[in-house]
Structure 1
């Protein structure tokens, strides 16, 4: 009978200790939520989108520098960046924009590498890329430029020649 009472007493003590531990653990979880522990830390962390937007803002001068470097004919009057910044599935931060207030005609896109702080690649609309074309590279083949100019309408040809500084 004494052994049975000892075993029963030990079981009761184990149950009481287990209940106290569970209650203590539950209280700790409630305190971190009530005092702002976990939730505040998560709120303070910037989202990936916010980090991407801040990084894009930091890199915009570099993008502008690259565009002006490509602009051998001094065609660019102004550069406008779209507000939307996206993160590609490959993790690149993509910034888009346009030149000379012509979003449909002279647009560009820059893919940025967050970890290395560099421009991974730049792409341009066809209309913009031909404004960056260096015809001096084709001086041995003048027919290429002539054929290209012939492919344009008279209005487009005049505008193109004006944009590259060959006609005023």
Structure 2
């Protein structure tokens, strides 16, 4: 009976020790994953900061009408499911009307593409390409309400 009791106590101690070891290992794994996620986010934010001047340069290249007065970047930098780092922003203090989104590729440290709101993209339109087809510009301008048309012409420098 005494041997059975000693054996039972030893089994219980071993089970508790093994369980404690596994719990500690699982906790360590979880904390390593959190550290990894934080470091990925920190790396994304560092790359975003380095790439902001390049993004500004690209926006100004697209802005043939000199429409852009200011560029603002959102604070949050995200990592999309494809692994791209995404920076969002807007121009001329109009976050809804003139916004853009830029995915960056971490490995190549390059801009993969840039998307703009419709309102911003039409400010980048080069009407000189359509000088042989003036009706295209005229039709576009006619499609805008009067107030928007006047603002558009002002934005692209054709009206004071």
Scaled by the length of structure 1, what TM-score is found? 0.74
Partner of 1:166: 158
Is the alpha carbon distance of 1:114 and 1:44 closer, same or farther for their aligned partners in structure 2, counting shifts above 3 Å? closer
SS of residue in 2 equivalent to 1:167: coil
Q: CA deviation at 1:140?
A: 1.2
Q: Give the ranges of 4+ consecutive aligned residues of structure 1 lying more than 4 Å apart after TM superposition.
A: 42-46
**Cα gap change, 1:104 to 1:154, in 2 (>3 Å):** same
What is the alpha-carbon root mean square deviation over aligned residues?
2.4
Task: Quote the offset at 1:43 in angstroms.
Answer: 5.1
Q: What SS does the aligned partner of 1:121 have? A: coil
In structure 1, list runs of 5 or more residues that go unmatched.
1-25, 34-38
In structure 2, the partner of 1:94 is: 86
Which residue of 50, 53, 64 corresponds with 1:58?
50
1:108 equivalent in structure 2: 100
Residues 116-155 of structure 1 correspond to what in structure 2 (within 5 A)? Answer: 116-155=108-147
Match of 1:47 in 2: 39
Shift of 1:44: 9.1
Between the aligned partners of 2:152 and 2:113, the Cα distance in structure 1 is 25
* Alpha-carbon distance in structure 2 between the residues aligned to 1:86 and 1:92: 8
Number of equivalences: 136
Q: Which has the larger radius of gyration?
A: 1
In the TM superposition, residue 136 of structure 1 has moved relative to its aligned partner by 0.5
Q: Distance between the aligned counterparts of 1:150 and 1:60, measured in 2?
A: 36
Task: Report the equivalent of 2:68.
Answer: 76
The CA distance in 2 between the partners of 1:165 and 1:75, in whole Å, is: 8
Displacement of 1:76 after TM fit? 0.3
